[in-house]
C-alpha cells in the first residue's frame, strides 16, 4: 500500500515552516530579558544557529516516508545545505556580538570575553565547536575529494555539534539542554544506524549485469525478502557488498530505477563517476546489495500534456524507465545529449521506442567535449506553450536548460528537474 501523501501545499511549506519554527522556538524559549541589546543579540544568534543546526541534522535523514512528506530527498538535501550554512553564520555572530557588548566596558574586556585563553572550558568548547564546523564546511564544499573521504569528513561535522552542546552544558545555563542533546543523539543515531549501516534497507541480490557503454552498466536486482514498492524513474540508495570474486565498497549511492519487472526485480543504471561506481562495471551476479527507497521521481507530478524531456548522459535513465512502461501519454520530444555515441546509454532501445511510438520524437545530440548550445537545441517559445518540461542530468545542464526555458516563457510549475547531486 502506498504511504499516505501530504497535500501539495503542505509538502511545499513543510521545510520552510520547520526552518522558521525550530530556531524561532529556541530563541523564544531562551529569550534573554533585561540584558544589554548586544548581549541579548549574541545569545539569540546562538540559539537561532543551534535551532537551524537541528533542522539541518533532521534534513539529512534518509527515510522514504519523511522525504515524501518534506517534498523529496533532493529538496531535503538542498535545505540541509542552506540551513547548515545559515546556522554557521549565526554561530559566528554569537561570540562577536557578546564581545562587542564588552566594548562598552573596554576593548580589553571585549577581547577577554571573546578569547578562549581567558575563558576556561566553557569558552574553549564553543571555540572548538566553531572551528570544527568551519573546517567541516570548508571540506563539504570541496569537489576534489573522493566521495568516501568527503563522507567521513562531512560526518565529522557532528563533532562540532557535540562540542557546541558541551559548551551549553559547561556554561551552566538554566534552559534544559539535555532534551536537545537527546534529540540530536536520536537524529544522528537514526541516520547512522538506518541510513549508513543500512538497517532501513531491504536485502537484494544482483541477478544480472548488462553493459550499456564502456562506462556504464544496467544492474538487475532481485529481492531476498519483501520487495520495495517503487516505480520506474524513482531513485534509490543502493549499497553493494560481497559476492563471488567481488567486494563492493558498501557505501549507499543514488541510482535511478530504469524498470521494475514482475513487480519485484529492479533495474538500475550505473555510470562510473568515482572509485566505488567504477568498481561496479565489473560486478558479477550474486553480489549482495541493500536498498533504501524509493525516493523522488522527476515524474512525481506527471501529467498527460505535451512534453519536452531533456536528458544529459546517464540522466536518460528515468525516461527509459517511463518508455519501458508503455507508450507516451501525449506528444513528447526527447532531447538526449551525450558526448559521443559510444557514451550514450540505451541508444538503440530509444531508437526502437521512437520507431514504434509515433507520438515520441527523438532528438539525439552528440556534443563532443563542448558545452551544448541549448539556445539552438531547445524549442522556441511558440512550441513551448502548455508543454510540461522534464529535465534530468548534470547540475550545469539543468541550470542552463532551466534558464533558457524560463526565458522562453515556461513557468516554474511546468518545469520538473532532477540534478543527481548529493554532496
Partner 1 sequence: MMQRLFLTSTAVFWLAVLGFWIGSLSAPIAQPPAAPSVADRSISTAELAQHATPQSCWMAINGAVYDITGYLPDHPSRPQIIEVWCGKEASDAYATKTRGRPHSHEADQLLPKYRIGRFAP
Q: Which residues bind partner 1 (CB under 8 A)?
A: 32-36, 39, 81-82, 85-86, 88-89, 92, 96, 99, 101, 103-115, 118-120, 134, 137-138, 141, 172-174
Cα separation, 231 vs 63, in Å, equals 17
Smallest separation, CB 335 to partner 1 (Å): 28
C-alpha cell at 101: 557588548
Helix, strand, coil: what percent of the chain each, to 5?
50, 20, 30
Farthest-apart Cα atoms in the chain, separation: 82
Choose between 106 and 210: whose C-beta lies nearer to partner 1. 106
Smallest separation, CB 185 to partner 1 (Å): 23
Which residues neighbour 77 within 8 Å (Cβ) at sequence distance 6 or greater? Answer: 59, 60, 422
Smallest separation, CB 406 to partner 1 (Å): 18
Choose between 172 and 382: whose C-beta lies nearer to partner 1. 172
Choose between 38 and 205: whose C-beta lies nearer to partner 1. 38
Choose between 36 and 193: whose C-beta lies nearer to partner 1. 36
Choose between 45 and 269: whose C-beta lies nearer to partner 1. 45
Smallest separation, CB 112 to partner 1 (Å): 4
Cα separation, 122 vs 213, in Å, equals 57
Choose between 35 and 181: whose C-beta lies nearer to partner 1. 35
Label residue 181 exposed, middle or buried (CB < 10 Å: 0-12, 13-18, 19+). middle
Cα separation, 251 vs 176, in Å, equals 37
- Coil vs helix vs strand at 3: coil
Smallest separation, CB 92 to partner 1 (Å): 4
Cα separation, 88 vs 85, in Å, equals 5
**389 touches 310 (CB < 8 A):** yes
Smallest separation, CB 408 to partner 1 (Å): 24
Smallest separation, CB 139 to partner 1 (Å): 11
Choose between 98 and 292: whose C-beta lies nearer to partner 1. 98
Choose between 104 and 185: whose C-beta lies nearer to partner 1. 104
- Three-state SS for 73-112 is HHHHHHHHHHHHHHHHHHHHHHHHHHHHHHCCCCHHHHHH
Smallest separation, CB 13 to partner 1 (Å): 22
Q: What is the DSSP annotation of 372-404?
A: P-HHHHSPPGGGGTT-EEEEES-HHHHHHHHHH
| Cis preceding linkage at 294, omega within 30 | yes
Amino acid at each position: 500500500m502506498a504511504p499516505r501523501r501530504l497535500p501539495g501545499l503542505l509538502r511545499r511549506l513543510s521545510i520552510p515552516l520547520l526552518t522558521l519554527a525550530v530556531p524561532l522556538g529556541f530563541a523564544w524559549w531562551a529569550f534573554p530579558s533585561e540584558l544589554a541589546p548586544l548581549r541579548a543579540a549574541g545569545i539569540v544568534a546562538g540559539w537561532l544557529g543551534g535551532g537551524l543546526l537541528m533542522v539541518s541534522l533532521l534534513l539529512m535523514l534518509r527515510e522514504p516516508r519523511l522525504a515524501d512528506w518534506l517534498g523529496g530527498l533532493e529538496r531535503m538535501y538542498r535545505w540541509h545545505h542552506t540551513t547548515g550554512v545559515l546556522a554557521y553564520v549565526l554561530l559566528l555572530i554569537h561570540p562577536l556580538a557578546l564581545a562587542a557588548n564588552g566594548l562598552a566596558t573596554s576593548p580589553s574586556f571585549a577581547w577577554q570575553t571573546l578569547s578562549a585563553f581567558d575563558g576556561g572550558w566553557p569558552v574553549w568548547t564553543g571555540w572548538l565547536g566553531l572551528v570544527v564546523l568551519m573546517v567541516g564546511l570548508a571540506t563539504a564544499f570541496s569537489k576534489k575529494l573522493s566521495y568516501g573521504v568527503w563522507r567521513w569528513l562531512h560526518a565529522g561535522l557532528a563533532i562540532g555539534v557535540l562540542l557546541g552542546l558541551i559548551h551549553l552544558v559547561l556554561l551552566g545555563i538554566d534552559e534544559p539542554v539535555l532534551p536537545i542533546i537527546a534529540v540530536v543523539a536520536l537524529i544522528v543515531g537514526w541516520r547512522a544506524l538506518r541510513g549508513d549501516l543500512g538497517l532501513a534497507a531491504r536485502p537484494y541480490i544482483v541477478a544480472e549485469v548488462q553493459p550499456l557503454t564502456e562506462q556504464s552498466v544496467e544492474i538487475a536486482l532481485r529481492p531476498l525478502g519483501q520487495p520495495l514498492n517503487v516505480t520506474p524513474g524513482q531513485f534509490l540508495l543502493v549499497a553493494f557488498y560481497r559476492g563471488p570474486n567481488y567486494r563492493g565498497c558498501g557505501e549507499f549511492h543514488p541510482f535511478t530505477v530504469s524498470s521494475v519487472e514482475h513487480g519485484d526485480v529492479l533495474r538500475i543504471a550505473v555510470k562510473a563517476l568515482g572509485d566505488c561506481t567504477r568498481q561496479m562495471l565489473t560486478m558479477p551476479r550474486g553480489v549482495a546489495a541493500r536498498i533504501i527507497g524509493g525516493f523522488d521521481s522527476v515524474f512525481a507530478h506527471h501529467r498527460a500534456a505535451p512534453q519536452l524531456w531533456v536528458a544529459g548522459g546517464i540522466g536518460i535513465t528515468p525516461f527509459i524507465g517511463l518508455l519501458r512502461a508503455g507508450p507516451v501519454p501525449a506528444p513528447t520530444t526527447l532531447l538526449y545529449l551525450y558526448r559521443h555515441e559510444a557514451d550514450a546509454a540505451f541508444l538503440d532501445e530509444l531508437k526502437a521506442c521512437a520507431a514504434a511510438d509515433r507520438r515520441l520524437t527523438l532528438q539525439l545530440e552528440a556534443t563532443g567535449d563542448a558545452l551544448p548550445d541549448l539556445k539552438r537545441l531547445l524549442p522556441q517559445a511558440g512550441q513551448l506553450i502548455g508543454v510540461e518540461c522534464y529535465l534530468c542530468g548534470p547540475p550545469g545542464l539543468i541550470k542552463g536548460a532551466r534558464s533558457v526555458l524560463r526565458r522562453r516563457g515556461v513557468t516554474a510549475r511546468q518545469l520538473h528537474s532532477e540534478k543527481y547531486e548529493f554532496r
